[in-house]
Amino acid sequence: MAHPPTSQAAEAHWHQTGEQHRRLIDSTRSLEALTTAVVHPCDEPSLAGALAAWREGIIVPLLVGPRHRIEAAAEALGESLDGLTLIDTPHSHASAERAVELAAQGEVEALMKGSLHTDELMSAAVDRRTGLRTERLMSHVYALDVPSYPRPLLISDAALHITPDLAAKRDIIQNAIDLARALGISQPRVALLSAVETVRSTLPSTIEAAALCKMSERGQIRGGVLDGPLAIDNAVSLAAARQKGLGSEVAGQADILIAPNLESANMIAKLLIHLARAQAAGLVVGARVPIMLTSRADDAETRLASAALALHLARVTPAPDDAP
């Protein structure tokens, strides 16, 4: 995925909501579908999303949950579950545990959240004995399709790490870079956000941003170009960056926004969704398999985009030895 021209014309960009995500979904045509445990799809939206991803050839679903509730949701949708595997469990907690077990045993390649709470699924996934931990922390990445922005915009971490320390931020950044590279961005531009663009002893996020940039220079973070601290206007607006005299490769044209904490990441994402008509897909990265986290309010296209993210991450991510 080539970067758009870095001219002032980018400031006037506008595309239809969901256009970038539709291209993402279409780009999965040549990829083998992911065998996916759909965890507790006991309401109509979550089951419909899984079936839509199946029909698009993105996933091969194994439905994990109470059989009678899944079948009732299918009946309400007017759908048939013929030809699909359904693994019966008594309740949502058991659904999460069974799905994680399937992933740990290599029987599925991804997890898709259904109508259970995120905490239930993630508690099973991070269990130190039976979960899906790796040497890297898991983190959540929003992939936003913002109509006024000329490229996909990744934001992290807006769901898992409340106040990440420096080591956690290193993993959060690396996870986001790996996802961006799987989407075809060969060297993602990573903006480390704060309220200002200069390092200040009174703003810890500016000190951490500077340290993370140095860690990248020394090879502790690989595959992307980092800059920070940057205020958000200088991260996404070339005009704002130029007014401040910021001429870095990242300023004004970030692919990835790394927020100081969960609250700020969540606020940025939700503001873009509700005020800028952004469409948001979500994925947990850093586990042994991709985990698609969707909201009950997500529409079918958003659920498809989350599945497409997982498929790209599983099938396209370069091997570690190939990373720059």
- Domain 7-133+287-324 fold: Rossmann fold (3.40.50)
In the prediction, which pLDDT does 14 show?
Answer: 86
Under a CB-based contact definition with an 8 Å cutoff, are residues 68 and 318 in contact? no
**How buried is residue 65: exposed, middle or buried, by Cβ count under 10 Å (0-12/13-18/19+)?**
buried
Say yes or no: domain 140-282 is CATH 3.40.50.300. no
User: Quick one: pLDDT at residue 140?
Assistant: 98
Q: 208-241, pLDDT tens digit by residue?
A: 999 999 999 999 999 999 999 999 999 999 999 9
Closest CA to 175 of 274, 278, 258: 258
pLDDT value at residue 12: 66
- Three-state SS sequence of the chain: CCCCCCCHHHHHCCCCCCHHHHHHHHCCCCCCCEEEEEECCCCHHHHHHHHHHHHCCCEEEEEEECHHHHHHHHHHHCCCCCCCEEEECCCHHHHHHHHHHHHHCCCCCEEEECCCCHHHHHHHHCCCCCCCCCCCCCEEEEEEECCCCCCCEEEECCCCCCCCCHHHHHHHHHHHHHHHHHCCCCCCEEEEECCCCCCCCCCHHHHHHHHHHHHHHCCCCCCCEEEEEECHHHHHCHHHHHHCCCCCCCCCCCCEEECCCHHHHHHHHHHHHHHCCCEEEEEEECCCCCEECCCCCCCHHHHHHHHHHHHHHHHHCCCHHHCC
**Spans in the chain with pLDDT lower than 70:** 1-12, 317-324
Q: Where are the domains of the chain?
A: 7-133+287-324, 140-282
Gap between the Cα atoms of 139 and 86, Å rounded: 29
